Chains A and B, each alone.
Chain A
Amino acid sequence: MIEVKGLYKEFDGKTVLEDINIQFRPGECSLIIGASGSGKTVLLKNLVGLYEPDRGEILYGERNFTKMKFAERKLFRKEMGMLFQESALFDFATVEENIMFPMDFFTEWSLEKKLERVNFCLKRVNLEGSNKLYPAQLSGGMQKRVGIARAIALNPKYLFCDEPNSGLDPTTSIVIDRLIQEITREYKITTVINTHDMNSVMEIGDHIGFIHKGHLVWEGSNKEIMDTDCQPLNDFVFANNLARQIKRNR
């Protein structure tokens, strides 16, 4: 479980996150949603240690991530996997080398074992046989799947996804969403997904946190979100005419 306690973050005197308190449970897809500029990416970057919080704590189980020393944190990172908005695959490496990258650094496995793991991960994301392709030769959806394969290469306990559906068509988005959900449930991973895609919210939102102007103003599930009284959330969810019409007809 990941627990965020009283998290504050500001940039150049401007408060971006204020008193964030939220828990993310294993085996669940937890979605952080909010409008652009609401602070959800900053929260995710705090969770993975790319930003340091100004105040507050981030606990991974019993371990306090904010108080970990550099070496301790480095070791701990083996338990994390991350899928980036643009996949962030290494251009200089093939699909196989991309997935093998964390194994090269953090395991003493033989080449055969690494290849076995690579093939397993590729099979898990339905991309068998694409080992020797370069990222530039893959479509956006395939790149995302390779990103997921790389993120799960070392059997992480925690998976973070930053806008996993950005730039994908609705059908591919659902494939990626379901894949993340399956992996989360299958390996009991604590998954935190940063998104503003309402399809993802309805599809895989076991637990949702809505951030508005740096505050966590609502928490619930995808079943509860349609009936919420939270005005900023309603403005966000029912932003277009079709959505408003659906709400009226419920």
Chain B
Amino acid sequence: MKDTFQTTGEYWQLMLRVFRKPEKWSVFWKQFWKESQKLIIGSLLLVFIVSIAVGGVICLQTANNLESPFIPKYYVGVMARESLVLEFCSTMIALILAGKMGSNIASEIGSMRITEQIDAMEIMGVNSANFLILPKIISATVFSPFLMLMSFFIGLAGGGLLIAITGIITLAQYIEGLQFAFNQWYIFYSMIKMAVFCFIITSISSYYGYYAKGGSLGVGKSSTQAIVISSMLILIFDLILTKLLL
């Protein structure tokens, strides 16, 4: 219990240091684009592959389970759209990113901590937390909603592709289902969730990396903790945000 309070206190103290005005905006923007490339562009392929596969699987499973003649065939499209937008493209993608981004951030910052690179910055008078962490948090939070959008469209395309290949329903039925009773608020709800989740992933992973200690074993431990805690918080905030926004 004491550890939890201490960790929470340390986390917020770190965030206070992170959310300061950057010492030099030119340096900040340089880091911001670098991090955007690494965290967001670097995740595109993974998101693409997972989304296209999951879109296809959702369509296949829904079609196989729709045995009642009273349920129209286009319902496969409705189910695919709703599953993707409500949970998969935000929560599931965020859990996958917690593994990829989280371990990347925690191990990068953790290695810098144990090799005294962070101390070197501090001695120079640079706010290391602000320099290292702020660009990661901002870039991931700003651009991740677009990653969610991309995942959504690719997931739908994956479903369409599977339908075109297998012919379980017609493409016209699938498209009709995608357009049926569409609530556009769900898109914004999902984008908001994704932004919050990516804030959690980047800030939590940065925290564990920043306070890593004990050599390479410590860095490994901090990466694991970053992924576990981020994933747990993503699921908790999924519940909270769903209750608040829907």
Contacts and interface: CB of A to CB of B under 8 A. Distances in A.
A80 interface: yes
Interface in B209-231: none
A85 interface: yes
Interface string A23-43: 000000000000000000000
A75 B23 CA distance: 12
Contacts of A90: 112, 117, 120
Interface in A88-102: 88-91, 101-102
B34 to A, nearest CB: 8
A91 B111 contact: yes
Contacts of A84: 116, 119-120
Contacts of A49: 123
B10 interface: no
Interface in A56-102: 73-78, 80, 82, 84-86, 88-91, 101-102
Nearest to A77: B125
Interface in B1-41: 23-24, 26-27
Given A77-B124, A101-B124, A105-B125, A89 B23 contact: no
A242 interface: no
Contacts of B126: 101-102, 105
Contacts of A104: 24, 26-27
Interface string B113-129: 00111011011111000
Contact of A77 (B23, B26, B117, B123): B123
A239 interface: no
B119 A50 contact: yes
Interface in B105-160: 111-112, 115-117, 119-120, 122-126
Contacts of A1: none
Contacts of B27: 104-105
Interface in B53-88: none
Contacts of A105: 23-24, 27, 124-126
Contacts of B125: 73-78, 105-106
Interface in A151-192: 160
B117 A88 contact: yes
A48 interface: yes
Contact of A86 (B26, B116, B122): B116
Contacts of B120: 82, 84, 88, 90
Contacts of A78: 124-125
A194 to B, nearest CB: 13
B123 A80 contact: yes
Nearest to A150: B120
B106 to A, nearest CB: 15
Contact of A88 (B23, B24, B26, B116): B116
A89 B123 contact: no
A31 B26 CA distance: 39
B123 A91 contact: no
Contact of B123 (A50, A85, A106): A50
Nearest to A106: B125
A44 to B, nearest CB: 11
A28 to B, nearest CB: 21
Contacts of B122: 50
Contacts of A75: 125
A105 B127 CA distance: 10
A113 to B, nearest CB: 15
B117 A91 contact: yes
A16 B67 CA distance: 76
B95 to A, nearest CB: 27
Those 3 A-B pairs whose CB atoms lie nearest each other, nearest first:
A77-B125, A88-B116, A88-B120
Interface of A: 48-50, 73-78, 80, 82, 84-86, 88-91, 101-102, 104-106, 160
Given A75-B125, A102-B124, 11 more contacts: A49-B123, A84-B120, A85-B116, A86-B116, A88-B119, A91-B117, A104-B24, A104-B27, A105-B23, A105-B27, A160-B123
